[in-house]
Amino acid sequence: MTAINQQNDTVKRMAEAWAVIDPLMGGTQAMRKAGKKLLPQQPREDDEDYKYRLETATLFPAYQRTCTVMSGKPFSKQMTINEDVPPKVKALLPDIDGQGRSIHAFASQLFAEALSHGFGGVLVDFPAEGGQRPYWTHYAHDSILGWRLDTSEGVARLTQLRLHEAAEVEDGDYGVKMVQRVRVLTPGGWALYEQGTDEWALVDEGVTSLSYIPFVPYYGRRIAFMEGAPPLVDLAHQNVKHWQQQSDQDDSVRFARKRLLVFSGVTDGELSEPTAGSAYALRFADKDAKAEVIQGSAESVTVGRSELEALEDQMIQTGAELLVKQPGQRTATEASNDAEANKSTLQSTVEDFEDAMDRCLQITADWLKAGDGGTVSLFKDFGAATLTDASAQLVLSLQGAGMLTKETTIVEMQRRGVVGPDVDPEAEIEKVQAEGPSLGSMNGDGE
Do 130 and 221 fall into the same domain?
A: yes
Q: What are phi and psi of 248, to 5 degrees?
A: -65, -40
Note whether residue 306 is domain-resident. yes
Regarding whether 14 and 78 lie in a shared domain, the answer is: yes
Q: Using one digit for the tens of pLDDT, what is the confidence trace for 124-137?
A: 999 866 568 999 99
- What's the confidence (pLDDT) of residue 179? 93
d(CA 268, CA 286): 13
Does one domain contain both 94 and 213? yes
Report DSSP state, residue 25.
Answer: H
User: Same structural domain for residues 143 and 51?
Assistant: yes
> Do 231 and 345 contact (CB within 8 A), yes or no?
yes
Q: Are residues 105 and 138 in the same domain?
A: yes
> 48 and 121: one domain?
yes
Cβ atoms within 10 Å, residue 108: 17
Q: Report how many domains make up the chain.
A: 2
Write the single-letter amino acid at 112. A
Q: Specify if 242 maps to a domain.
A: no
Q: 216 with 284, same domain?
A: no
Compute how many other C-beta atoms are within 10 angstroms of the C-beta atom of residue 410.
Answer: 21
User: Quick check: is 430 in a domain?
Assistant: no
Position 308 in a domain: yes
> Does residue 172 sit in the same domain as residue 298?
no
Shared domain for 138 and 186, answered yes or no, is: yes
Within-domain flag for 63:
yes
Model pLDDT, residue 447: 45
Alpha-helical (H) ranges within 94-209 are 103-117
pLDDT of residue 332: 45
Q: Are residues 102 and 164 in the same domain?
A: yes
pLDDT digits (tens, 9 = 90+) for 255-280: 655 556 666 767 766 566 666 666 66
Burial of 399 (0-12, 13-18, 19+ CB in 10 A): middle
Task: Decide which of 377, 396, 425 is a domain's last residue.
Answer: 377
The pLDDT value given to residue 402: 76
Kindly state whether residue 334 falls inside one of the protein's structural domains. Answer: no
In the chain, the percentage of residues whose pLDDT exceeds 70 is 83
The radius of gyration of the chain from alpha carbons, rounded to an integer in Å, stands at 29
Residues 312 and 363 in one domain: no
Rounded Cα distance between 62 and 64, Å, is: 6
Do the domain assignments include residue 304? yes
Half-sphere exposure of 366 (CA within 13 A, CB side): 17
* Residue 259, in any domain of the structure: yes
The pLDDT, as a whole number, for residue 201 is: 94
Q: Do 302 and 359 reside in the same domain of the chain?
A: no
Q: How many other CB atoms are there within 10 angstroms of residue 35's CB atom?
A: 14
Helices (H) and strands (E) in the chain, counts: 13, 16
- The structure's pTM equals 0.82
Q: Which residues of the chain have pLDDT under 70?
A: 128-131, 253-263, 265, 268-284, 291, 293-301, 303-304, 328-341, 403, 436-447
Q: Could you list the residue range(s) of the whole structural domain that residue 273 is in? A: 253-319
